[in-house]
């Protein structure tokens, strides 16, 4: 049975973070050695089987803004990964369901999906409106990006998925 632990990045053991880096490097087939430093502080949801980390997701705090409305306190999900040898067993689903239960106090959940169908099964919705990054010099369109959102208890009832959506600029991956 998958054991799931929620760990703040400020208290995560270096050995655990290294194991997560290795898992993400294997799953994404790209170097994750410095990815978490670029993402900033967040909260990791770690799924282990027989003391081996097999699945992971994390969220970081971001401020997403729909049109000209007030920014929404958003749990932005990053580094969702399951070791290839353990994929298709429901571990990623279990980790994402736990993550969803942990972010209830946010206004919104959001992520940039690698597999839209996987997230849609879990209740995430594709953002249909244009996407932008807020910079010091204005709004920068990001037409090649995709975002999905998870409605939470505090999500405005009149949230318009066809409106423009923007996030603050950050180093590394903008979305």
Cα–Cα dist 114/143, whole Å = 16
Q: What is the mean pLDDT of the chain?
A: 97
The pLDDT, as a whole number, for residue 172 is 86
Burial class (CB in 10 A: 0-12, 13-18, 19+), 151: middle
Domains of the chain, with CATH numbers? 3-168 (3.40.630.30)
28-50 pLDDT, tens digit per residue, is 999 999 999 888 899 999 999 99
Q: What is the pLDDT of residue 126?
A: 98
Write phi, then psi, for 99 (nearest 5 degrees). Answer: -55, -45
**What per-residue confidence (pLDDT) applies to 46?**
98
The parts of the chain modelled with pLDDT lower than 50 are none
Residue 175 has a pLDDT of: 96
């Amino acid at each position: 049975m998958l054991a799931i632990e929620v760990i703040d990045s400020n208290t995560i053991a270096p050995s655990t973070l290294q194991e997560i880096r290795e898992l993400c490097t294997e799953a994404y087939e790209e170097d994750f050695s410095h990815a978490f430093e670029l993402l900033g502080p967040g909260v990791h949801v770690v799924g282990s089987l027989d003391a081996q980390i097999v699945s992971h997701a994390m969220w970081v705090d971001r401020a997403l803004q729909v049109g000209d409305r007030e920014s929404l306190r958003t749990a932005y999900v990053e580094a969702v990964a399951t070791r290839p040898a353990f994929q298709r067993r429901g571990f990623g689903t279990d980790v994402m369901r736990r993550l969803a239960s942990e972010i209830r106090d946010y206004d919104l959940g959001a992520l940039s999906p690698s597999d839209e169908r996987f997230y849609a099964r879990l209740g995430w919705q594709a953002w249909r409106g244009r996407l932008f990054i807020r910079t010091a010099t204005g709004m920068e369109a990001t037409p090649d990006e995709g975002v999905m959102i998870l409605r939470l208890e505090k999500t405005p009832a009149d949230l318009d998925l066809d409106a423009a959506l923007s996030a603050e600029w950050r180093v590394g991956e903008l979305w």
